[in-house]
Structure formats: C-alpha cells, structure tokens
Amino acid sequence: MKPLNADLHCHSVVSDGLLAPAAVVRRAKLNGVELLALTDHDELSGIAEARAAANEVDLRFVDGVEVSISWGDDQTVHIVALGVDPQNASLIAGLFQVRSGRDSRAARMAAELDKVGIHGAYDGALRFVGNPALISRSHFARFIVEQGHAKDVKSVFDHWLAKGKPGYVEHSWATLQDALGWIIGAAGVAVIAHPARYRLTRTERRDLYSTFRDLGGRGIEVLSGSHNDDDVREYARVAREFGFLASRGSDFHGPGESRVDLGKLPDLPEDLTPVWSVLH
C-alpha cells in the first residue's frame, strides 16, 4: 500500500512561521500532503483558520500544538501534541502560562545582545512578530539578518542565539509532567519533537524517553526536517525499543527559511507504527 503523506509538524505566523495558517494548508495540499497538523509553538489560535482552509481544499487536518518544556540542566525540549481538543480549558490555561514567560525572556535576550553590539533587538524582533506573546528566537534571528549581522537565520543561531552563545539566556518553560497532563487531558497524543536536536547525555536521553512514556507520552518524531539519514535510523531504533508510535513532520516555518518543505520527507520505516494510526 502507498504510504500516507502525513506532515504532522509545521508553523504559521501565529508563532514563528512566515505564512498565514490558511496559506500553510494550501501549500501542503499543493505539495501532496494527505494529513496535516498545524503545530504552532505554545498556541492554538491558528487552528480554526487552518481547519476551515483544510475543509475547503479537502485535506485531512489534525489539531496540534508544539509545547516548550524544560528538561534536566536548562535543556529545552519540544513536545508535539496531536489531536488535542483546542477548546480544553486546562490546555488553554497551561499554554497561556508557557507564553507568559516569553516577553521578559526576550527583554533579557535583547540586553545580552546589546552588550555584543546588536542594539535595539527587542523592538526590532517585535517588528517580525504576529502575536507579541509568541516572541521567539526566530524573530530575533530575522531582525539580526535584516541588520546585516549574519547572512541567514541559521548562522544567527550558530553565532548568537544557540545555547552558549551571547544572546542565549536561560529560561524555565513548562515541566514535562505539566505539559503531558494538559495534552492527555485534552485527549491529545504527545510526541517528542526532533529528538536529534537535543544535546543530552545518553543517560539524560534515556531518562527523558522513559519518563515521557511513564507520564503517558506515546510517540517520537522519526522523520523530521532536522534529521539526517543516521538520525532516522537512530530514532527508528528508539521507537522500537521504547514502543513509541512514529511521527513524520517537516517542521516547516516558511519558504526560503526551512530546509524541508511541507510533505517533502521520506517514508517511515515499514515496521514502525505511524502515530496517525491512533488519530481520527
């Protein structure tokens, strides 16, 4: 049977993507996506527009969100929630709480960047944000590129915004336990996003996977826009070992900024159980 072209991870202008929710949906359809989840960071408000657009173009749509959590010693981990009820009060309140830290974090980032000669970054980043509550490192990156300090968003992260670089500040996001409580309480399926991106020791990693599973987490992204072939093999292995459902998501943010476009990913290894087998 031909595998389903599912893309269960992408962003719109509601968080740090470049396209409106409806435009993301139309692009996904043109790219041949058959099942799409919009997973903006810490925010559900793009879902209504995206779902309406998906109905218009006859594309199966899953309500999603990507939740920022803190793990171990100041590590940020992202949990993709799929099939959540976007009206669920605890989920809405939880995400509100996660977003509420972003503004003061952005002010701290701007103060650090100022010390290394990048001035006016808070107001500058705000010019790139749709919703100020969702101000993120991506918006700072776009401002820094615009100012000519770097050639593209990726090199901004390499030089200024990644952990250990001058514009990086520590921040407490949600706990894994709280995030899984909100997601499962809203009837969602929790998936570890882009596992290759985390700089964790072997022990910390195994602890993350088993704690996530113990708390009711079900899936892991095996195919991601941030994974190379070796990563795909490794996270397929992790899915088998921990009994995780396998997910597939481009993490598309926008044309020209993302390496992988909507739906343009390889197929999942055939022996894995796709996460969409439990989504309806």
Binding interface with ligand AMP (CB under 6 A)? 16, 41, 68, 136-138, 153-154, 157, 162, 253
Minimum separation from the CB atom of position 122 to ligand AMP (A): 13
**Shorter beta-carbon distance to ligand AMP: residue 141 or 239:** 141
Residue 7 touches Mn ion, criterion: CB under 5 A: no
Residues 48-107 that bind Mn ion (CB under 5 A): 66, 78
Cα angle vertex 265, ends 203, 10, to 5°?
75
Q: Cα–chain-centroid distance for residue 273?
A: 21
Q: Cα–chain-centroid distance for residue 29?
A: 20
**Shorter beta-carbon distance to ligand AMP: residue 41 or 218:** 41
The pattern of x and - marking residues 159 through 198 that bind Mn ion according to CB under 5 A reads ----------------------------------x-----
Minimum separation from the CB atom of position 89 to ligand AMP (A): 24
Question: Are 222 and 269 spatial neighbours (Cβ–Cβ below 8 Å)?
Answer: yes
Minimum separation from the CB atom of position 243 to ligand AMP (A): 27
Among residues 261, 233, 237, 241, the alpha carbon closest in space to that of 249 is found at 261
What is the C-alpha separation between 3 and 28, in angstroms, rounded? 16
Give the residue ranges of DSSP H helices in 72-185.
Answer: 89-100, 102-115, 121-126, 137-146, 153-156, 176-185
**Shorter beta-carbon distance to ligand AMP: residue 57 or 162:** 162
Binding stretches for Mn ion (CB under 5 A): 16, 66, 78, 193, 251
